[in-house]
Amino acid sequence: MPLILLYIFDSLRPDFLGCYGDRAALTPHLDEFAARATRYESAYAAAPWSKPSGAALLTGRLPRAIRMTQLLDPLPPDVPTLAEAVGRAGWHTVAVSGNPFISHDFGLLRGFDEMVEAFRPDVMPQEPFRFHRNHFRRLSTALSVPPEALVLPRSAALHRALLDHLGDDAPTFALCWSMDSHAPFFVRGERSHFGNPLDRVIPAADEEWLRDGLTVAEMVRLYRDMIAYNDAEFGWLMAELKARGRWEEALIVVAADHGEAFGEHGHLGHTHGLWEEQLRVPLLVKFPQQRAGARRADVVSLLDLWPTVRFALPHDAPDPDWAVPLPRESQAPAPPRPLLFDAPDRWAMRRGPWKLHGPTSEAQPLLFNLESDPAERRPLVEGPLQRALWDEADALMARADAEATGWTRAAPVDSADLRARLRHLGYL
């Protein structure tokens, strides 16, 4: 039966993958997948942290257009979700999420027939984790979180849960959201491939934890090990899909919800910055019966998933105005369009090669040409181009804010358990 699988590696940067040119990466299974998929070289998340980025991905709308920019705000109950639309077309829908933002409480799993919220202590068995004995003790002490609230499901457990719920008697739309490349930083598997001590743990990408001689370089080495572990487990999942006859006809989307900063612009982690290392994400799409890999240089957004799976949607389900279909292997280049990015206290916009960072309380607006300066190191002199881009961004934000007024406002989600889960992921 047909399968659409949306697989998210949380916090994964494309420049840490072999298929995106990193020779130090240990990602053979993602590289093999990319060889049969379409690789988008300039794909972007709508926001630099999971909740708004996930909301954009699963609704096809900008976070500020659906009131999803603040930490505890849930998705308004009348915003259509991709799972709801696919379900109305007769598809079975299943989600396995290791991220507490990608949850029923926040409305982002609305429309899924079956949900495995693996971040909840009573949902997943502890046996598959097999962490070093010191990890939970150290994390519990560092974050002031009781050990029983520290649930860090590894991708191996998520994949088994996903396969248990796929079913064979109906077309299936599936979401798997893995947290193995998200903080806390420690070796997920049985051994390190990058020389990391197995008992080392850095709770979050924050200078607060770089004490006792720990460095950003050591954080990066742990991050590489985390990616390598998730890559190996991803390879196991793909092999299982092939063995079950679900591979050839499947549409499989592999992406990240945002990136991660390691000091490139004075930042660690994600959430607040809108630099390339925090917004640019890997995006690999294996279309049904795709035989050979392809590379696309188009600037695309994760919002574009909705119209890309148009074949699975009811005819009366309109595409969100913010999204366009992802270009296929041999299609002509897509015309440039503006992409707006939001963080709690700042905005940025990309159009073509140009990227404008809006003004903040700390900085003036900055304009970069990403073709000649992909690392955003050489801001351009202010001029008419900057003013024109700023006006366009203002118009986009006004349009999004106007759309947001049309949705029903829902009460913020808050509980002691939720705050404990967000604390051990570094959000509080």
CATH code for the domain in which residue 223 is found: 3.40.720.10
Examine residue 318 and state whether it is found in any structural domain, yes or no: yes
Distance CA 263, CA 180 (A): 21
Flag whether 368 is in a domain: no
CB 59 within 8 A of CB 68: no
d(CA 46, CA 349): 10
Nearest to 396 by CA among 346, 327, 325, 347: 347
- pLDDT tens digits for range 256-269: 999 999 999 988 98
Give percent of the chain with pLDDT exceeding 90.
67
Let me know if residue 417 belongs to a domain: no
**How much is the pLDDT for 147?**
65
Q: What 3-state DSSP class applies to 185?
A: strand
Q: How many CB atoms lie within 10 A of CB 160?
A: 17
Alpha carbons 268 and 48: distance in angstroms, whole number: 12
CA distance 179 to 168: 27
**298 occurs within a structural domain:** yes
Is the peptide bond preceding residue 184 cis, with omega within 30 degrees of 0? yes
* Integer CA distances (angstroms), 272 to 21, 249, 291, in order: 27, 39, 40
Instruction: Identify the domain containing residue 168 by its residue range.
Output: 3-335
What was the pLDDT predicted at 127? 43
Instruction: Give the highest mean pLDDT range of 68-72, 324-328, 354-358, 406-410.
Output: 354-358
Q: Look at the chain and count its residues.
A: 428
User: pLDDT tens, 230-266?
Assistant: 999 999 999 999 999 999 999 999 999 999 999 999 8
Q: What is the phi/psi pair of residue 419, to 5°?
A: -65, -35
- Cα torsion through 237, 239, 245, 248, rounded to 10: 90
Kindly state whether residue 371 falls inside one of the protein's structural domains.
no
pLDDT (0 to 100) of residue 416: 76
- 350 in any annotated domain: no
Query: pLDDT tens across 283-333, in order?
Result: 999 999 898 999 999 999 999 999 998 877 777 778 888 999 999 887 888
Q: In this predicted model, what pLDDT tens digit does every residue of 88-136 receive, in sequence order?
A: 999 999 999 999 999 999 999 999 999 999 988 776 655 444 455 566 6
pLDDT number for residue 125: 57
Percentage of the chain with pLDDT > 70?
92
Over residues 24-34, the pLDDT tens digits come to 999 999 999 99
Q: Which tops the pLDDT comparison, 186 or 224?
A: 224
Question: Which 8-state DSSP code applies to residue 55?
Answer: H
Residue 103 domain flag: yes
Number of domains composing the chain: 1
Overall pTM surpassing 0.85 (yes/no): yes
User: Which of 264, 282, 283 has the alpha carbon at shortest distance from 273?
Assistant: 264
For residue 222, tell me if it sits in a domain: yes
Contact 292, 271 (CB under 8 A): no
Residue 426's pLDDT is 66
Give the model confidence (pLDDT) of 375-401 as tens digits: 999 999 889 999 999 999 999 999 999
Closest CA to 293 of 105, 41, 32, 81: 32
Report pLDDT digits (tens) over 132-184: 556 666 666 766 666 666 677 889 999 999 999 997 778 999 999 999 999 98
Give pLDDT, residue 424.
65
CA proximity to 193, closest of 26, 391, 38:
26
